[in-house]
Structure 1
């Protein structure tokens, strides 16, 4: 306590300067009295004052000694250093602005990434009592007994949820939900997002409603008519915030649902994709009859399909709750001998599913690495700027050393200057973070489109991360230049005017390595951005092998309406006939897959050949598919309806790749193969290779079968190609469907729009990497320029002597550029090698759309762009150096 009181007293004195003023007054009073005595003795007044001061001794020494004993000398020294650094930085506005912007970009990018990840995976959900909200998951070991999975293997079954809900003593409430989608009926059918929720879902997360009420026990009876709660956004967009919506009905998947309430405006639920509508989980068999079938999913204990959340009681820890639920889980395991259930309880956040965290870890690590790369470049640039500034300040530093300043004192001053720069850069980084976080949240691959329920406002954690990033940047960029600036041999520096400082290769090696790493990182980003952009461009200019212009995709809810394969074929036949009668119709066809987005895989064997089964792509289509999608038949003929023979092989068409793979030296027409459930097919014709699985990349072996032979018509898609104006035909589709079956809902989408949405993750990734790549290019060019500028400033004497002895300026220019060119070349080679390895990973995930991972256009273009940019930027300091008049420069030296 005594030490604390002493510190507080000294701190108060430092702020108020009260003791200093009192000391001044006491010293002045003492000198005045002594001078008065000398005046009385007959001395003149001026001489009396001088003799009084001589007798008292060194006044400033007494004050400094007092400050050392009663004040805070370190704090005072820091304050002086800050004032001195502020004056120096204000005199060099260009240097200060460049340094602050460089650091601000580096810190801002990293802080934005952290803020986004924190909001998704750490920050509490925006619900009541969010600090006590947790999510419950399960992991299974031992004999799992063929557990069904619908969503994630970490989800729970309804009996497991009910067991935890009814028998626990650590939770104030447990709720369950499952994400799904519905077809909204009416005059404008459209898909809507939804959730199946337990009856207590809203009572656990929040009881307030904008209009109406939540679910009650009557709504949650399995035999009750389905009820629904609307999201505020859906209520506003579809009902204009009309309060009369309560009690009204809407049609979901052909079922009439009664609206009981509207969620509050700020309620977004527990997922990044905000649902449009919530319905009780007990209504799932009515709304999703095909998904649930005849099974009572509420009674199935070995199916993972529900996410469970709950509030811990006050004073209960997650570990205590986990221990209790683990005991209950072991009791459930007794039903399945050999199974061991591990209960996982995570704090409530948007992304806390162990599976999602594992999958998202790589994206987070990749984005963090990109941010760290940008920060490293920023630190390198600032270090180069400080090195150049240190070289120019060398005479000042050497003079201060010669006059008695210690190296520690100079280091403190230089580091204080760097810390002040970093603090300004950190503030700029926070400003960048406030804007950039929202941008990254919408361009990050995998994020849902539309408004996000993320709270991206800065808090203590994000600001602390920005502070840590700022301090890291200050240390990385400031320590080495400060050590180098204050470490020259004093005698050598005085003799050579400071020109020898930092000239040794050992001191320049770290700087060169940082520049090489900077160039390599920039090349990596630019190559990846170029490959992604080139792949996306390829999907736009290269035909996928089938028609996409003026093609519309029709999707039906036939499965939910109870259609089997035969009824679905009849429905589609009638619809094709009626749509085909429209004027301007270029063709109508059905397919089990959407080319360019998905494809089925099936095993194929050739009768009579002793070869293992090989997986190929398969698509089951209607007979007029090739005409509708404008896929030519190269050899043979298409489906005509005359190929059917009872007990005979089924008709099929194969792609060129499949013909070359299985019958390379034979005529494939008439050949037979086995596929699927040992179905025997006979080849009728050969069609070109198309891009069924990945846009811009031709498929491997692929065959087409008739959809009538598979029984999969209820889940097929219909394609309508329109010649000319498509508005009238598209607008008439719902009415035509209702004429055939008024209970069936149809969704019509432009095929090009569907393909564009499929490319959205790659497009977002390309935008993000391109932006960071351009930023890295600017930083890397500035860094290389700084190296050349520093080298030329240190070699002014050598340059002048060379020119004075007759060296041509052209040769001196080449000499000055050689160092920077060598660093750029080494960094480019390293960066291109890293980019080639990273591009292989992108290609394996289908993100390059047929572009080669080592595409020469991208690699050579990147190398040329960076090399030309770097050399152009290096010319300015080199030309400035060789234009110096040797006589004037040597005289100055």
Structure 2
């Protein structure tokens, strides 16, 4: 320990005597370690962090995939479950410590405290009464939900998350025990959840209000999913205390699932028994929760982790060069010490201690760099989020990672220079070995420069590919017009409206907005283009196979919808005010629908339906362009549109009362507009304020969850890609700068070592241009070798990246050539300064200095 203390003191003293070197090394390390730590901070929180519950390793999700929000029919691999099926699985599955249910989607309700006038939108999830018991969560204040709260007729109660209690209700302790009006329904707040618990989901802006399952019909009276066995809308979590029982529980769940499907099959359901027998489900670990963020960001974070690792590798190579230069300058001293009997391992340990001290200091500064980096990343990725599940503050695992990576970095860039520098003959100290007319001692540095150049080309090329992919995504033809449009997200059911009131509400909206200055177009729809929503289901044609599973998306729209969003009509007509509930049922389809299902037929006048029991429900009266409604990276789906004023005629549907009730409930819910679209002139902020004021005048309970320009709405689809492109570009530029600094350092060191040789050359007649060319040629040869290695590496990186590219092949020459050009320019500039210094050497001064 005493020897280690001495090494530390000596290292700190040497660094104090070389403040320029120490500052350069620490800042360089801070960039490399900080970038890596920032990405790990996000990687840990998104992928690795477990739920803050008791024994999270005992939790499993029933179903492999994460789906939202409501589905029906056979799923083959089951992930969502209805309430009746949940109760069956909960009561009939042995070897568990409970199965809990939670709504897969969210319900946005208008909320206000009793006695207050202003309301605000709150995202709510309904859960089973045993949810908190199964997860093992304690209350921060009050109590949590109990099984008795989840019984029919129980008093409506709610639990708030700590984050929502703080952000929306200013941490008012009087809230517990008071009444909240949720869409007009009085609900008693009985407690606040644990401070670190945001729910079972790792999700952006997670819902922070939990209500019992039994209250779902009160909150969404049009759907009443709780009472419709054929609707599947719940995620199920099971706690299994013994890992050995997981396969047993999984098999029991599969048996009970098939048994329930057999006993609940409707007479009108013609699904073959063989298909029913193939229905299954599987258990997946839920120790990190139902991880939506992982599904959304995992690929990007893994990519960024690899890129940050390359930057750290370049940083180590750069610091190794600095340590080699520093060590070579001490070669005479080390030779003398070796001649006097100092053991080699002692000198290696001394130099390695200095490297580790540098890396620890760099790691400390890196934490500040990482914190700022994560804050910036979250500002982009989590904008417009009320409650973020991610934090820039380093946790214990992140601190441990930063410390470990600092130690490894110190060893990585310190061990080789220390070993090389101390590998000399002590007798050289007596023969003036510092004089040399060769540059063989710089060979390790040249190898490191080649490595830096190769990695820089690969990183810059990757950034170029991602920039090109993002440009293709953003500038593709969306087949609608986002410019000069506003989109408002509303929940009319949350505002207390019932199906019977919608016609009057829509008529009043049209009247109110028609005379508003600055607005010259208004439309509404269940959902609109690129609104982060999608309804889909099977369709049927007269005489078609009932098991054909022809799937298409659908939405209900107002008469002015296509004109307002700027979707082009290709043939036929759009909807008009005459397409009321008293008129024949009509539909408009997109071109993809025609290409996929019409088999070359003339679409106008053809009929189809949403079910094999209603194959002639709609007559096609128009065809519109293939506007993008979902993920812009995916192909356009077949789609059909119906007038929002028309309801599906269910009188011809021969089914049981339960199926009829479910169909009628779904049809009513389908007519609640979720998006309001406006065309505007002038300032978008002024137009948005006008929209808010007008909606408040219509009904102050209509809570606008989001109101933005359509340009911004489209841009939100590319937030992840923009983030990855920016970070990759930053990392690529850092790599280029570090490579340039490395080239400068090696070239400058080489000039210093060869000063005597250059003096002799010039004394023998070499001109200054020749010396300049010699130094530049040596530097550019190293860079060229790096390019020869880096170009194949860039193509390999592009090939591995091909699944994340849009409209680009992985083997793209342009970004590779641009990266090579950038590196060559940087190398030329970096080596030109020491080359000019070499050309300015005076022969006699160089010879006398030796």
Give unmatched runs, 5+ long, in structure 1: 1-74, 845-849
Report the CA distance shift for 1:853/1:442 in structure 2 as closer, same or farther (over 3 A): farther
SS in 1 for 2:440: coil
The CA distance in 2 between the partners of 1:702 and 1:321, in whole Å, is 44
Please give the alpha-carbon distance, in whole angstroms, between the structure 1 residues aligned to 2:191 and 2:556: 44
C-alpha distance in structure 2 between counterparts of 1:522 and 1:562, whole Å = 55
Counterpart CA distance in 2 for 1:658 and 1:328 is 41
Ranges in structure 2 where 5+ consecutive residues have no aligned partner: 66-72, 261-276, 543-547, 649-669
- Tell me what 1:553 maps to: 488
Cα-to-partner distance string for 1:506-541 (whole Å, 9 max, x where unaligned): 7466424422333234414542564477568859xx
Distance 1:601 1:221 in 2: 33
Measured after TM superposition, the shift of residue 800 of structure 1 is 2.9
- Equivalence for 2:363: 426
TM-score (norm 1): 0.71
In the other structure, the counterpart of 2:187 is 257
CA distance 1:528–1:671, shift in 2 (3 Å)? same
Q: Classify 1:673/1:396 alpha carbon distance in 2 versus 1 (closer, same or farther; 3 Å).
A: farther
2:748 aligned residue: 789
* Equivalent residue number for residue 322 of structure 2: 385
How far apart, CA to CA, are the structure 2 residues paired with 1:123 and 1:748? 30
* Cross-structure match for 1:503: 440
Higher mean C-alpha displacement, 618-627 vs 554-563: 554-563
Q: For 1:137, which of 61, 65, 73 is the aligned residue? A: 61
Cα deviation 1:28-69 (Å, max 9, x = unaligned): xxxxxxxxxxxxxxxxxxxxxxxxxxxxxxxxxxxxxxxxxx
Change beyond 3 A, Cα 1:174–1:207:
farther
Cα deviation code 1:709-747 (max 9, x no counterpart): 785544563323344653345322244368xxx9x8776
Alpha carbons of structure 1 residues 618 and 574: separation in structure 2 relative to 1, 3 Å: same
1:375 and 2:301 aligned: no
Distance 2:768 2:606 in 1: 77
Per-residue CA deviations over 1:691-714 (Å, capped at 9, x if unaligned) read 55567x998798875536785544
Q: Which has the higher mean CA deviation after the structures are superposed, 880-889 or 865-874?
A: 865-874
- Give the direction of change, closer, same or farther, for the CA distance of 1:552–1:131 in structure 2 (3 Å limit): closer
Pick closer, same or farther for the CA change 1:372–1:492 going to 2, 3 Å. Answer: same
Q: d(CA) in 1 for partners of 2:624 and 2:126?
A: 47
Alpha-carbon distance in structure 2 between the residues aligned to 1:577 and 1:453: 42
Alpha-carbon distance in 1 for matches of 2:495, 2:78: 20
Q: Which residue of 2 aligns with 1:885?
A: 842
Per the alignment, in what secondary structure is the counterpart of residue 306 of structure 1?
A: strand
CA distance in 2 between partners of 1:486 and 1:502 (Å): 18
Tell me the CA shift for residue 184 of structure 1: 1.3
Report the Cα offset of residue 135 of structure 1.
Answer: 1.9
Larger mean CA deviation between 873-882 and 455-464 belongs to 455-464
One of 708, 711, 723 as aligned partner of 1:750:
708
Q: Once the two structures are superposed, what CA deviation does each residue of 1:565-605 show, in whole Å capped at 9, x if it has no partner?
A: x9856754554344335455412223454224467789999
Corresponding residue of 2:663: none
Partner secondary structure for residue 488 of structure 2: strand
In 1, the alpha carbon distance for the partners of 2:46 and 2:793 equals 32
1:672-695 deviations in Å (ceiling 9; x for gaps): 8888767797786776x7655567
Q: Superposition pairs for residues 760-771 of structure 1, below 5 Å? A: 760-771=719-730
1:736 aligns with 2:666: no
Q: For 1:830-845, list aligned pairs within 5 A.
A: 830=792, 832-833=794-795, 836-837=798-799, 840-844=802-806
How far did 1:429 drift?
Answer: 3.5
Contact 2:541/2:609 (<8 A) preserved:
no
SS state at 1:278 partner = strand
- CA drift of 1:385 comes to 0.9
> Secondary structure at the residue paired with 1:623?
coil
Determine which of 251, 259, 275 is the counterpart of 1:335: 259
When Rg is computed on C-alpha atoms for both structures, the one with the higher figure is 1
Deviations 1:143-167 (A, max 9, x none): x9746856699x9934334556xx6
Please report how far the alpha carbon of residue 563 of structure 1 lies from its aligned counterpart in structure 2 after TM superposition.
6.3
1:137-286 alignment, distance < 5 Å = 137-138=61-62, 146=75, 149=78, 157-163=86-92, 176-178=101-103, 180-184=106-110, 190-202=120-132, 205-210=136-141, 212-215=142-145, 219-235=149-165, 239=169, 245=175, 248-253=178-183, 255-263=185-193, 268-272=198-202, 273-286=205-218
Cα distance, 1:274 vs structure 2: 4.5
Aligned length: 777
Aligned to 1:366, the other structure's residue is in SS state: helix
* Aligned match of 1:14: none
Counting only pairs closer than 5 Å after superposition, residues 317-716 of structure 1 correspond to structure 2 as: 318-319=242-243, 322=246, 329=253, 332=256, 335=259, 343=283, 347=287, 351-353=288-290, 361-402=298-339, 405=342, 407-433=344-370, 436-440=373-377, 443=380, 449-453=385-389, 461-487=397-423, 494=431, 497=434, 499=436, 503=440, 507=444, 510-524=447-461, 526-527=463-464, 530-531=467-468, 534=471, 545-553=480-488, 555-557=490-492, 572-573=506-507, 575-597=509-531, 621-630=557-566, 652=588, 692-693=629-630, 705-707=641-643, 711=648, 712-714=670-672
Distance 1:635 1:342 in 2: 47
Q: CA deviation at 1:503?
A: 0.9
CA distance in 2, matches of 1:326, 1:618: 35
CA distance in structure 2 between the partners assigned to 1:842 and 1:331 by the alignment:
39
Distance 1:619 1:342 in 2: 33
1:534–1:860 distance in 2 versus 1, CA, 3 Å: farther
SS in 2 for 1:371: helix
1: distance between equivalents of 2:81 and 2:513?
Answer: 40
User: What's 2:269 paired with?
Assistant: none
Q: TM-score, normalised by structure 2?
A: 0.74
| Preserved CA contact (<8 Å) 2:164 2:387 | no
CA contact (8 A) 2:482 2:565 kept: yes
- SS of 1:754's partner is helix
- Relative to structure 1, is the Cα distance of residues 433 and 605 closer, same or farther in structure 2, using a 3 angstrom cutoff? same
From 771, 776, 779, the equivalent of 1:820 is 779
1:469-524 deviation digits (Å, cap 9, x = unpaired): 22321232123223332335778894753537871797466424422333234414
Once the two structures are TM-superposed, the CA of residue 353 in structure 1 deviates from its matched residue by 4.6
CA distance in 2, matches of 1:335, 1:560: 40
* CA distance in 2 between partners of 1:716 and 1:460 (Å): 43
C-alpha distance in 1 between matches for 2:257 and 2:497: 36
Preserved CA contact (<8 Å) 2:63 2:80:
no
- Give the secondary-structure state (helix, strand or coil) at the position aligned to 2:154: coil
Deviations 1:357-399 (A, max 9, x none): 6776534422321221121111011111122223333333444
| Alignment CA distance shift 1:251-1:322 (3 Å) | same
Residue 651 of structure 1: CA displacement? 7.0
User: Take 2:99 and 2:590, find their aligned partners in 1: how far apart are those partners?
Assistant: 54
- RMSD value, Cα: 5.3
The answer to whether the 8 Å contact 1:592/1:619 transfers is: yes
Q: Could you tell me how far apart the structure 2 residues matched to 1:790 and 1:194 are?
A: 65
